[in-house]
């Protein structure tokens, strides 16, 4: 229990430090239009949370980002396993991962908008961004599995399911959990960026760009804080679910 209390105390102190620094910076600037303080941001966020439009906007963005993320996780993991098993597939598909990792996300957003609607574009952009991450993590986890443990599993005829559970999963899961949280951060950033450019109805990205256009800086900060809170909350949920798989 003590380590948990220590970690919580440390997190609270770190948070208090940065909030105080933010408040001091806002006081130094002296204008909420240029830099709203923590209280202005929280008050605006609380006001937004009291409206049905806020929850519909959050829900639609969450649906888009979540759909792209889940599709990317499933396809990326599957391709990672297949390319680890087949050198031919690895050679054939490797240019796709290189293109996905190297091309600026803005270029992808503009290109996708030529072919798809503003509503679907963020889903595909998130998918494109996170798939290579799951692909690389899964591939590295499979090919770097302990050869001696795999040989032992073959000798004792454990079968595919038991080998997966007792050899591959314990080796892959720690890396997979870390990659999942990193991918989630990229999913939110790329998904909201796609919404900013595509501006679909009921989207956080559209709300952010409208706040900027109407110079409603506290509103801009409030929507940004909402994105951060959603990302952190989902990250903890994903880690908890993956750890249950590990257990």
The closest of 126, 121, 131, 123 to 75, measured between CA atoms, is 131
Phi, psi (rounded to 5 degrees) for 202 = 55, 70
The stretch 4-28 carries a mean pLDDT of 87
Report d(CA 213, CA 62) in Å as an integer. Answer: 23
For residues 187 and 129, the answer to whether their CB atoms sit within 8 Å is yes
- Checking if the pLDDT of 76 tops 90, the result is yes
- Checking if the pLDDT of 30 tops 60, the result is yes
- DSSP code at position 103: S
- Could you tell me the pLDDT band of residue 155, with boundaries at 50, 70 and 90? low
The closest of 82, 81, 86, 187 to 130, measured between CA atoms, is 187
pLDDT of residue 219: 94
Mean pLDDT of the residues in the chain = 86
- Could you tell me the pLDDT band of residue 154, with boundaries at 50, 70 and 90? low
> What are the distances in angstroms from CA 30 to CA 42, 89, 223?
18, 59, 21
Tokens of 242: 């993956």
Enumerate long-range contacts of 112-119, CB under 8 Å, 24 or more apart. Answer: 112/194, 113/197, 113/198, 117/200, 118/198, 118/199, 118/200, 119/64, 119/198, 119/200, 119/201
pLDDT digits (tens, 9 = 90+) for 89-140: 989 988 888 888 888 888 999 999 999 899 999 999 999 999 999 999 988 8
pLDDT of residue 172: 79
- Checking if the pLDDT of 13 tops 80, the result is yes
Exposed/middle/buried for 228, CB within 10 Å: 0-12, 13-18, 19+?
Answer: exposed
> For the chain, where are the E strands, in sequence order?
none
The stretch 182-188 carries a mean pLDDT of 90
User: What pTM does this model have?
Assistant: 0.86
- Checking if the pLDDT of 73 tops 90, the result is yes
Q: Count of residues for the chain?
A: 247
- Checking if the pLDDT of 246 tops 70, the result is no
Phi, psi (rounded to 5 degrees) for 8 = -65, -45
The helix (H) or strand (E) run that includes residue 205 is: helix 204-213
């Amino acid at each position: 229990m003590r380590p948990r209390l220590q970690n919580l105390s440390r997190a609270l102190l770190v948070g208090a430090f940065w909030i105080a620094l933010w408040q001091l910076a806002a006081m130094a600037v002296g204008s909420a239009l240029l830099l709203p303080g923590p209280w202005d941001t929280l008050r605006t966020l609380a006001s937004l949370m009291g409206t049905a439009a806020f929850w519909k906007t959050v829900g639609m963005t969450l649906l888009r980002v979540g759909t792209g993320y889940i599709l990317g996780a499933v396809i990326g993991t599957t391709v990672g396993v297949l390319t680890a098993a087949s050198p031919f597939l690895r050679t054939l598909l490797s240019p796709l991962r290189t293109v996905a990792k190297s091309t600026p996300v803005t270029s992808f957003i503009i290109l996708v908008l030529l072919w798809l609607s503003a509503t679907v574009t963020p889903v595909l952009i998130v998918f494109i961004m996170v798939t290579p991450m799951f692909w690389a993590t899964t591939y590295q986890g499979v090919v770097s599995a302990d050869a001696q443990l795999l040989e032992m599993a073959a000798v004792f005829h454990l079968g595919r399911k038991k080998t997966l559970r007792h050899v591959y999963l314990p080796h892959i899961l720690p890396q997979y959990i870390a990659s999942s949280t990193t991918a989630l951060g990229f999913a939110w950033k790329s998904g909201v960026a796609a919404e900013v450019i595509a501006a679909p109805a009921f989207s956080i990205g559209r709300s952010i760009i409208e706040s900027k256009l109407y110079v409603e800086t506290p509103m801009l900060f409030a929507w940004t804080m909402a994105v951060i809170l959603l990302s952190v909350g989902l990250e903890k949920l994903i880690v908890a679910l993956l750890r249950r798989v590990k257990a």
